Amino acid sequence: MRDASFSQCTSTRILLLLISPVFMESCGAKILEKTLEQWMRYKEECLKKMANDPYPSGLFCNRTFDMYACWPDGSPGAIVNVSCPFYLPWYEKVQHGQVSRRCGLDGHWVLLNGTELWRDHSQCREEMETSTEEEGVHQLMVSLKVLYTVGYTLSLLALVFALLIFTVFRKLRCTRNYIHANLFASFGLRALSVIVKDALLEKMWGKELFEVSDWEALLSHEAAIGCRVAQVVMQYCILANHYWFLVEAVYLYKLLIGAVFSEKNYYTRYLYLGWGTPVAFVVPWMTVKYLKENAECWGVNENMAYWWIIRIPILLASLINLMIFMQILKVILAKLRASQKGYADYKLRLAKATLTLIPLFGIHEVVFIFATDEQTTGILRYIKVFFTLFLNSFQGFLVAVLYCFANKEVKFEMKKKWQLWKLDHPSLCCSQ
């Protein structure tokens, strides 16, 4: 049903929807849902016209709607021309063009290769002046999607394994590791929600549409519910992830700088801060999207003011983390100066402490904190998207490695378990 231009634009648009909601101008201002609504209106007008027009006498090709254009009855051996369909996103450019079909001498529309209906819609195709640029954007989006899908999948597997370790080994159960486990869980849920949301978007908007039922199903309210739920869950998981960064920062700050405190009492408050705070922002955002921008999978932000409902708490958490990060570095710097053994050793330990804290507090988020999506254009925008997707998708894996697999306490417990297992299974160990 769709020509190459429509398929390319739709395919690129799907990838842009998956990656970033602010890249929508790449395929024009019209969103796919509006195009589908226009197509449905075109189809209804066509069916009414076919029902009302009188039938000619003698042999003729039957009037039809072939999912692309509305065709009147055709005389045998004649070429039938109709105007380009008005639902095409680029209709203003091709409104004077025509699409053609040939009526055979036997009163049947001419087929291509004996199976497909022949149709010449070359005049209705979008001008391909920027085809090279669009192809480049499409390939870039494909590469970015592969990149972050691999990153989130690898992170999810590592985080699940890390959570199992913290669950199985009882001696690892303490407030610090409980907080780490919640951070791992937020990373895992974030990765899972992104993967599920992408799958639903691909299923909803990525399929080829040839039957009327496909288009009607795509426009139905039920089709978007699952996709919108996945979008809401994903936004909640992203916010929860950022606020567990904040919990990690607050806990370490109180541990190093604060007075003596009861860990058990504060852990309950950490749970509220990490898992409860995002609800206070996601619910208003969800309400606004439903009332004001209830289109597609809620991935398009036509009014960026609504997007600030989600962005402000993220920026706030990132700024607080940055301030706590600087304070903790001062404390670490002072302690290292007081107990330094050598200048080289002092610098190495400081660098190690700094690099360890960066992924734990999500400090990398501050790099592009003021380079908002609306302000970045051209190559800067693609650089920002690349680094954001790369860091966000692989950060879960990095955190799992640093705070679980490379942790001396964890390695000691795993080594001890391994030694005990070998003592309990001497026959298996000795046979090797």
Dump pLDDT digits (tens) for 245-256. 899 888 888 877
Dump pLDDT digits (tens) for 79-119. 999 999 988 878 888 888 999 999 988 888 988 776 778 88
Please check the confidence at residue 343 and state whether its pLDDT lies above 60.
no
Residue 217: predicted pLDDT: 55
Please check the confidence at residue 143 and state whether its pLDDT lies above 80.
yes
* Sequence ranges of the domains in the chain: 31-124, 131-423
pLDDT band at 130 (very low <50, low <70, confident <90, very high): very low
Q: What is the pTM of this model?
A: 0.69
DSSP code at position 101: E
Helix 131-168 to helix 378-400 angle (10° resolution) is: 20
Among 137-141, 268-272, 378-382, top mean pLDDT goes to: 268-272
Residue 371: predicted pLDDT: 59
Please check the confidence at residue 72 and state whether its pLDDT lies above 50.
yes
Residue indicated by tokens 């051209």: 378
Dump pLDDT digits (tens) for 386-424. 888 888 889 889 889 888 888 888 888 878 777 776 676
31-124 under CATH 3.20.20.70, yes or no? no
What does the buried/exposed string (b/e) look like for 306-336 if buried means 16 or more CB atoms within 10 Å of the residue's CB?
Answer: bbebbbebbbebbeebbebbeebeeebeeeb
Helix 4-19 to helix 175-205 angle (10° resolution) is: 170
Nearest partner of 94 among 20, 182, 200, 6, judged by Cα: 6
Superfamily of domain 131-423: Rhodopsin 7-helix transmembrane proteins (1.20.1070.10)
Residue 421: predicted pLDDT: 67
Residue 119 near residue 99, CB atoms below 8 Å: yes
Residue 340: predicted pLDDT: 60
Residue 26: predicted pLDDT: 33
Nearest partner of 211 among 3, 65, 6, 110, judged by Cα: 65
- For residues 142 and 28, the model is more confident at 142
Please check the confidence at residue 278 and state whether its pLDDT lies above 90.
yes
Quickly list DSSP for 68-80. S-EE--B-TTPEE
Of 113-117, 130-134, 210-214, 301-305, least confident by mean pLDDT is 210-214
Residue 167: predicted pLDDT: 87
Give the span between the Cα atoms of 282 and 293, in whole angstroms: 15
For the chain, give the percent of residues with pLDDT over 90.
Answer: 19
What are the backbone dihedrals phi and psi of residue 109, each rounded to the nearest 5 degrees, phi first? Answer: -65, 140
Dump pLDDT digits (tens) for 2-53. 444 444 444 544 455 555 443 433 333 345 667 777 888 898 999 999 998 8
For the chain, give the percent of residues with pLDDT over 70.
Answer: 69
- For residues 18 and 72, the model is more confident at 72
Residues 6+ apart with CB under 8 A from 395: 155, 187, 359, 362, 364
Please check the confidence at residue 345 and state whether its pLDDT lies above 70.
no
Give SS3 for 257: coil
pLDDT band at 212 (very low <50, low <70, confident <90, very high): very low
- For residues 212 and 222, the model is more confident at 222
